[in-house]
A and B are shown apart, each in its own frame.
Chain A
Amino acid sequence: MNSPAAFSYLDHNATTPVREVAVAAMAEVLAETGNPSSVHRAGRAARHRLEAARRSVARAIGLAETGTLVFTSGGTEANLLALAGSGRNRILCSAIEHDSVRHGVAGTVEIAVEPDGTVDLETLAALLTADRAPALVSVMAANNETGVIQPIADIVRLAHAAGALVHCDAVQAIGKIGFDMAALGTDLVSVSAHKVGGPPGVGALALAPGVSVTARQRGGGQERGLRAGTENLPGIAGFAAAIGAAVSELATYRELAVLRDAMEVRLQAIEPSARLFGVNVSRLPNTSCVALPGVSSEIQVMALDLAGIGVSAGAACSSGKVRPSHVLEAMGAGPELARSAIRISLGRDTEAAEIDRLVDAWGALALRRRGKRGAA
C-alpha cells in the first residue's frame, strides 16, 4: 500500500484496498485451472471452492441456511436482479438509494426521508396502503454518502404487514456494522466484494427462503439458472475471504468512529458555518459528509487531491459529473449546500496522521474562502 506519509486515502466508501487474505485466496485459485461447471476433477475442485465461498458469504450476512445466494458481477447487477427480477411491478425505494436502485427499473416510487437522512416511516406506511398491488420496498442498510443507517427492521415490519417484499442494498453496511439478514427479516439483500476488502467485479444477491427472482442474464444455467455466465471464481474466493475477515473485525472497526468524530469536531471548530450531515442519528463509523458553504465540492476535491488526499464529492460513479447530491437534497439541503459537500470515508488502516493532513488542508481551504469573503 501507499505509504501514509505520502498520501491519505480517505475514500474507502468508493473502494477499499484488497485485504491480504483476499489476495492470498485469489492467488491460490488463480493458480488452479477449472471451470466450476465442468464435470472432470479440475471442474469439481473449482465447484467445491465455489460452494465453500458461497457458504462463507451466506454466513457473513446471516442468510438462512435454506436461502439462496447468487453471485453477480457486483452490487449494481445484484440490485438490478432484485428489482427487475422480483416480479413485483410496484417498486418503492427511498429517495437516497444508489443510482442503480433509483434508475434500475422504470417507474419506481420514491419514499421521502427525514432531514436526518432516515426513511420517513409514515410516508412509507401511507404508500404501502395507497395501492393494493404487491410491492417491493427497496431501502439501503446504510447510505453511501452520509453513512446514515436505516431502520430496516421497522421497514420490514411495515412492508411485510402490507404484503410487500423488502430488498436491502447492504453494499455499504456489510463489514462496517453488524448485519443479520435473517434477524432483520429482509427478503433480498445485495452485497459487493470491493467495499469489504475483496476485489471489484464481484457481488451477490441473497434470497431469503422461499424468495426467488427471474434471471436477467441468460445462458449456460449457472447459479441455479438465476444468473448465467462462468462464475468469477478467483474473485468469489477473494470476496469470501474478505467478508469473513471484515465481519470478524467489526468490534475494532467500530473504533473508527472515535477518529471520525474527533475529525468532525476539529472541522466544525475551524469553520463554524460548516455543515455536518447525519450526526444525530446512527451512522457508519467511518463516514463523514461535510459541506463547506461557498466552496464547490469539485474545488474541494481537487484542492485536497493536490494536497495528497483522496476524498469524493458524493458517489464515485457519478464523479466527474457536476450534479448536486440527490441524497443531501432529499435530506432538505438546498442545491447550494448540496453542491458544497464532500464525503470523507475512513478505512480500517486509516491513521491519525492522515486525518491531520485532511484537517490541515481543509482548514486552509476554509481560511482562503474567508479571506475572499473578507476582500469582497
Chain B
Amino acid sequence: MNPVRRTAARLPPDAVYLDYQATTPVDPRVLAAMLPYFSEIFGNPHSTGHGFGLAAADAVEQARAQIAAVIGAQPREIVFTSGATEANNLAIKGAARFLKSRRPRVVTLATEHKCVLESVRDLARDGIESEIVPVEPSGLVDLDRLAAALDERVSLLSVMAANNEIGVIQDLRAIGALCRARGVLLHTDAAQAFGKLPLDVGAMNLDLMSISGHKIYAPKGIGALFVRYRPRVRLEPLFSGGGQERGWRSGTLSPALCVALGTAAELAAGEAADESRRLAGLARRLRDGLVARLDGIEFHGDPERRLPGNLNLGFAGVAALDLLAALPDIALSTGSACSSAEVEPSYVLKALGLDDAGAHGAVRIGFGRFTTAAEIDRAVERITTAVARLRGSNPGDPGR
C-alpha cells in the first residue's frame, strides 16, 4: 500500500518522486483514519444538537489535541484552516491589523514564502509599514541585524522555521527571546518544519505558528494556526460568517481533513527522530554520490542547520530547466511549486547572493518518508548522466 508505488501506476514504474517540499504522498495510515469521516461519521461538527454532529465534533477536538501536543500547546490554541497559506494570511494580517494603532509595523525575512511576503505587502493598504530583513549567504538571518529592526513600533515578526526552497532552519529559540524582550509577536511559518523538527511554543516563545497538512503526509486542503492563549494573542478575522473556530475562521470544518492532520501530526512527531536520521543518511548518500561523479556542484543554504530531507544545488554550466526537461521521470523542482511555472529566478536564492545564472541553475531535491536508498541511487545515476550530457561531455570516473 505504498502510495508512491500506487502513483507509479500512472507514471513510469521507475519514476522517482523527489519533490517532497512541494507536496507529500498521503500516508496510508492517515488515509485509513480519515476515510470513515466521509461516509460513516458524516455529521456537521457544528451541529451539536444531535449525535451525528457530536461524533464529528469529538473527532475534530481529538485532532486538535493531537496537533497541540506536538508543539506543547493547548488544544484551544489550535485553529483549523484550509492550509498554511490561509494560516499565514490570518496570522500576519490578523495580528498586524489588530495592533495597528499602537504598533504600525511588521518585519519579516527576504526568504519567506510568497504568501508571507504578499500578506505583508497587502498590509500597506491598511497603512501598516513593513521591513524585509535580508539574510546571510548561508540563508540564516543575522540576529544582531534582526534585533536592530525590532523596535517599539513593530507589532509582529514573521520568520519561517525551515525554508521551503533551501531547507535552512532559523534559530527560533534565539529569535523568540529577542521578540519577547521587545514585546514583538513572533509568527513562524512552520509548513516545512512541523512534524519534522522539534518545535515548542513555550521554549521558543512563539505566539503564532502556521501548519500545513500536505507537507506531512496528510491531504491538501487542511492546515492550522496556533494562536497563543496566554499571554493572549488577538487577531482580526479574515472572514466572518457562522462564527466557527472561536470566530477567527468561519466555515464548516471537514472532520475527515481535521482527523487526517491530527493523525499525520502524531505519526510524524512520533517518528521524527528516527526519520530525521534516516533522511540525513539519504541526503549524505545523494550528495556524496553526486560529488563523487560530477565536478562543479554548488550546494545552497547552510550545510548544518537544514532540513534533513532537502538539498538545493546547482551544476555549473547547466540551467535547471534544461536538467528538469532531461529528467522527465524524476520529479525535481527549480524552487517553490507555486512559482515553478515562472521563468523568474528564485528570489530566495538571490537573497543568498546568487546571481541570475546561479539562481537559474538551482535545483531543489526533496525526499521523505517513502523515499528509498535505491531511489536515491537511481536519481544519482540519472542526474549524473543528464548533467554530463548537457555539459557536452561524458560522465567523469565515479572515483574522481
The chain A residues found within 8 Å of chain B, CB to CB, are: 1-2, 7, 9, 11, 14-18, 20, 22-23, 26-27, 30-35, 37-43, 45, 72-77, 79-80, 84, 98-101, 103-104, 192, 194, 199-202, 216-222, 228-235, 238, 298, 301-302, 304-305, 308-313, 315-321
Contact = CB atoms under 8 A, between A and B. Distances in A.
Given A17-B39, A76-B250, A220-B114, A317 B49 contact: no
B39 A219 contact: no
Interface stretch (B21-29, B64-72, B136-144, B225-233): B21-29
Given A14-B44, A14-B53, A74 B252 contact: yes
A222 B48 CA distance: 35
B7 A316 contact: no
Contacts of B42: 1, 15-18
Contact of A220 (B6, B25, B115, B324): B115
Interface in B100-147: 113-116, 118-119, 121-122
A201 B257 contact: yes
8 contacts: A41-B15, A41-B331, A73-B86, A100-B241, A216-B239, A230-B85, A310-B50, A317-B252
Contacts of A31: 3, 6-7, 26
A20 B341 CA distance: 35
A201 B222 contact: yes
Of the four ranges (under 10, 10 to 19, 20 to 34, 35 or more), the interface on chain B belongs to 35 or more
A234 B331 CA distance: 20
A304 B53 CA distance: 14
Interface residue SS majority, chain A: loop
Q: Which of B122, B332, B340 has the most CB of A within 10 A?
A: B340
A79 to B, nearest CB: 7
A310 B38 contact: no
Nearest to A103: B240
A43 B85 CA distance: 19
A232 B40 CA distance: 22
Nearest to B54: A305
B39 A33 contact: no
B54 to A, nearest CB: 9
Contact of B220 (A200, A230, A316, A320): A230
A271 to B, nearest CB: 21
B312 interface: no
A200 B83 contact: no
A221 B118 CA distance: 10
B257 to A, nearest CB: 5
B99 interface: no
